[in-house]
Structure 1
Amino acid sequence: MPRYAVFGLSLASDIEFPELTPAAEYGAPAAFRLRAPACPSSRNRWVLEIPRENGAPWLSVGRAGDAMLLRFHGVADFHFAHGGLDVEARPAPGASIDDVRWHFLDHVLPRALAASGRTVLHASAVETDRGALVFVGESGSGKSTLAASFCAAGARLLSDDGVLIDTEMRVVPAYPVHRLWPAALPVLGSASVLDSKEKQRRAPSASAWRTSSVPLFRVFVLAPHIPGREWIERASGAEAMLALVRQAYRLDPTDRDRAGAEFRFLGQLSAAFPALILAHPRTLADLQSVQIKICEFSS
């Protein structure tokens, strides 16, 4: 099977991942296998349900025997051993292979990494001359657009939407893709896609992608802009810790041992790298000014 570099892993797969960089030997082993759809089982024990904004089911997390099960409704069931990185996907009827592949990269792998003892934040990250800048925030807070704007100005992408920070406080590259809403595509010099309501995927140039880990330098927590408020302020220890805990990927909320280890690591992270609150206007016209402000705090 071909192998690919992703999140510091050497991923063996029985399908192609055109987004990923081929790598025979890269890091710890992981695997992705596509299997035939299976009949639903009534023996699954569900531990978490996450709905869509309209209330429809999106993700169900459960246990199927000794394996963990992530069911992305309408896309696929993903099975893997708790703490393991060998994933089997069983597509839902009518699901496209592209959707299955993207859900694995964007949603399954970060959670599997978290269950294996690693820390992955819902964040984007770029490499600058001083080290890695990490932008932590909720979906829709502008993380991807901000990272893309830095890359357009000469920084290198580390991750668009899932930042793995290792025990040496280094940011490990995820995979080389920008995911932008159509209106934000001009940031990368691409034309807007007017008829699409989905995020568009764009690969950075080879020179704009980092393949090895980078020391962490600054953590920015994205917050809503309030007129009259400074765009960047130092976060209190409690604010920083709460933001990191909220934006950490996790698999099983009933796993107290993993939750304790994660809390201790995030405490070390927030103590070593005090976070900054970034509450800038979310318009493309302000991006250059935002970059200048960020660079002032990163000098």
Structure 2
Amino acid sequence: MKSYKAYNLCIASELQLPELTETEGDPDVIVRFGKVDNATAMQHDGGQNFLGEIPEVAECFIRNGREITINPLAGVDEALVRTVLLGPILCVLLRQRGLLVLHASCININDKGVAFMGGSGWGKSTLATAFHNRGYDVLTDDVLPIQIKTGQPIVFPSYPQFKLCPDAATSLGHDTKSLLPVSQNSFKVAYKLSGGFQQTPLPLHNIYVLDKGSEHKITRIEPQEAFVELVRHTRAISSISEHEFMANHLHLCSELIKNVRFSRFTRKPSLGDLPELVKLVEDDLAELNEQDECSALKAPQTGSLGLYEQSPPAWA
């Protein structure tokens, strides 16, 4: 059993996970092979004990955010088993551990997390890779785990690999002949980062909700609309159905909206416009930072010494 690092966890696994970085230390999570018997199935409660099945791949039992028992079907491609373990299965486990888990990719811009949220095929990984090509570090691809306790929400890094469509990989300057499929019969290829991976958690400041349209533009989103998008793009929301978890999920969404900027990022479907899209986001963030600085300067004076208290951002 080897130990790996992902999502700010030490994961000890009987299944080898070459996508992850090996580490040492006491495990936070243990992954074992095993069958799910009737006694185990009786523990399923839709919350801290979860029994699930990935059709034609494996069945699994996830206990208390700490233990995963996985039983692959005979003859299933091992790479496919790893893909579902690192994706939907770990999403359930992360939710059991109290994290908000979104369908999003995240990059590091000036030591702040900037995320792109959307459904499958909406360009999250492609955009994040485009920023990586411009020298920005990346935190996550497709799975965005966020810790929300007090103050600024924190993003936990995933692991240094993207899953890209071949045409997107080609447009970003990568030779698809040197990239392996994510799994057997998968149309996506695995692009493993040799550098530029943000290994430590970062505060999350911006979420861009991806959309398709006839022009490239960024517009602000009101809190009610942001809430709908968060619920729409939460990972494993249909799996963890216990009432307490659902109530906590709605609370986490509300807290995130109070502390993070939300914008709608509408784009034309053109891979050739990726440099323009990167510049559009850079300019938008620069404008928002300028607004924050102006808000701080205009904050009311307090005390006889004329010191300024930093006012909350206008988007809070």
Bigger radius of gyration, 1 or 2? 2
CA contact (8 A) 2:36 2:61 kept: no
Q: Secondary structure at the match of 1:268?
A: helix
Inter-CA distance 190–31: structure 2 relative to 1 (3 Å threshold): same
CA distance in 1, matches of 2:21, 2:169: 23
1:22-101 superposed matches below 5 A: 22-25=22-25, 29-35=28-34, 67-81=49-63, 83-101=64-82
1:235-250 superposed matches below 5 A: 235-249=221-235, 250=237
CA distance in 2, matches of 1:171, 1:63: 28
Sequence identity, in percent? 25
Inter-CA distance 246–293: structure 2 relative to 1 (3 Å threshold): same
TM value normalised by structure 2: 0.80
CA distance in 2, matches of 1:221, 1:130: 21
Corresponding residue of 2:306:
none
CA distance in 2, matches of 1:255, 1:288: 44
Report whether the alignment pairs 1:119 with 2:100: yes
CA distance in 2, matches of 1:197, 1:98: 10
Inter-CA distance 153–43: structure 2 relative to 1 (3 Å threshold): closer
Report whether the alignment pairs 1:176 with 2:165: no
CA distance in 1, matches of 2:97, 2:111: 30
Report whether the alignment pairs 1:143 with 2:124: yes
Q: Secondary structure at the match of 2:120?
A: coil
CA contact (8 A) 2:98 2:147 kept: no
CA distance in 1, matches of 2:212, 2:173: 26
CA contact (8 A) 2:140 2:158 kept: yes
Inter-CA distance 117–271: structure 2 relative to 1 (3 Å threshold): same
Inter-CA distance 254–170: structure 2 relative to 1 (3 Å threshold): closer
The structure 2 residue matched to 1:256, chosen from 243, 246, 251, is 243
CA contact (8 A) 1:127 1:156 kept: yes
Corresponding residue of 2:208:
220
Q: Structure 1 residue 68: deviation in Å? A: 1.5
Q: Structure 1 residue 284: deviation in Å? A: 1.2
CA contact (8 A) 1:180 1:199 kept: yes
Report whether the alignment pairs 1:295 with 2:277: no
Q: Structure 1 residue 294: deviation in Å? A: 0.5
CA contact (8 A) 2:171 2:272 kept: no
AA matched with 1:74 = E
CA contact (8 A) 2:166 2:189 kept: yes
Inter-CA distance 108–285: structure 2 relative to 1 (3 Å threshold): same
AA matched with 1:245 = V
AA matched with 1:274 = R
Q: Over aligned residues, Cα RMSD in angstroms? A: 2.5
Q: How many residues align?
A: 275
Q: Secondary structure at the match of 1:145?
A: helix
CA contact (8 A) 1:235 1:276 kept: yes
TM value normalised by structure 1: 0.84
Corresponding residue of 1:198:
187
AA matched with 1:33 = R
Q: Structure 1 residue 106: deviation in Å? A: 1.2
Corresponding residue of 1:157:
138
CA distance in 1, matches of 2:104, 2:110: 20
CA contact (8 A) 1:145 1:187 kept: no
Q: Deviations over 1:228-287 (max 9, x none)?
A: 5x6110011111111111111235453121111111111111122130000111221111
CA distance in 2, matches of 1:278, 1:146: 11
Corresponding residue of 1:210:
198
Corresponding residue of 1:21:
21
Inter-CA distance 182–116: structure 2 relative to 1 (3 Å threshold): same
